[in-house]
Amino acid sequence: MKIAIVREQADGERRVAATPETVKKFGALGADVAIEAGAGLNASIADADYAAAGATVADRAATVASADIILGVQGPAPHSIAGAKPGAWIVAGLNPFGDRGRIASYAAAGFEALAMEFMPRITRAQSMDILSSQSNLSGYKAVLDAAAEYGRAFPMMMTAAGTVSAAKLFVMGVGVAGLQAIATARRLGAQVSATDVRAATKEQIESLGAKAIFVEKVAGIEGEGAGGYATEMSDEYKAAQAELVSGHIAKQDIVITTALIPGRPAPRLISDAQIATMKPGSVIVDLAVEQGGNVEGAVAGEIVERHGVKIVGHRNMPSRLAADTSALFARNLYNFLSAFWDKEKNAPVLDDEIGTAIRLTQGGKIVNERLLG
């Protein structure tokens, strides 16, 4: 069993899919590990560290030659891994809805593509969930980015020269990233409030010491779909939420938006008219900017200013903390493969529940129902 780890080629991608820790663990399972030279440099991991952990460090062609499994953060270009074994697994974040052409190319090449972002949100798969591990640090970083752009202090400060008021920070979308944003902003001393379409998050918001801002009078709408993800809301709810949020946003110094719906463009949460009600010098961080954005006027990869308000739209937020996010991502991959490792076959053997959920291609065809439906 040969496991290959390739160097990421996507623009701005600094993460790596394995660390010396996971290389050593794969070796203990009985796998031979090969890693492309320089794969970990942007995540502060030297080639010598991989070699010391037992990996073979080589160029890309030698790394993928006869590989049974190829690990990546993002899916490698199909032509760049042509030397792998027929039917080799590609295990990575594959962006199945946004990069269908690449998925079709994997099928045509005979690879079995496994999309880690399709991992079901069930108890036994929590340690394999790349979306949660990466979103956690994204929420943390979003607050730091907001603090860097905000021209004032976060905490209330009482000085001999007078009092500095605490910054007011509003989180929209309370999944993993939103909860970490709340916790981080509270640690920095901000006055924090938050909202979400899922009624179940109200208790979570309040448990972190933040104020919950919720639509109260629209009955029968919970906003939670399969796996705990948010769902598309009714027009009645959207109108009620827009009215509530508009009044609240005008009083905020910082807003962080995190709302995503799998397989669909990010929902629009903040309009240009709402931005215009905010005070000059306020900051909005849009964590959904790469999926179309929660904020009108947000631009992926840029910090723009509208009505005196800065809108931060950094791409690939997890990559901005590459050392830590790589460590977590690599553990997700190891936890996944090791959970299904068959000692007699010296290879992982997937069960139906998780295998069917994450398998995109097999036998030269696209087989995942979420892509075929």
Closest by Cα among 320, 361, 353, 335 to 96:
361
| H-assigned helices in the chain | 20-29, 47-52, 60-64, 100-108, 130-149, 176-187, 201-207, 235-249, 272-276, 322-339, 352-358, 369-372
CA–CA separation, 284 vs 352, rounded Å?
A: 42
Question: Of 55, 68, 64, 52, which is closest to residue 26 (Cα–Cα)?
Answer: 55
In angstroms, the CA 257 to CA 216 distance is 21
Identity of residue 240 = A
How far does CA 34 lie from the centroid of its chain? Answer: 26
128-181: pLDDT as tens digits: 999 999 999 999 999 999 999 999 999 999 999 999 999 999 999 999 999 999
Chain segment 208-259, per-residue pLDDT in tens: 999 999 877 655 455 555 555 555 566 777 777 778 888 899 999 999 999 9
Kindly state the percentage of the chain with pLDDT values over 70: 95
Catalytic residues: 121, 126, 129, 132, 229
User: Is the per-residue pLDDT at 12 higher than 60?
Assistant: yes
Its sign, for the CA torsion 361, 363, 369, 373, is: positive
User: What pLDDT does residue 220 have?
Assistant: 44
- Summarize the confidence of residues 103-126 as an average pLDDT: 96
This prediction has a pTM of: 0.92
pLDDT tens by residue, 183-202: 999 999 999 999 988 888 99
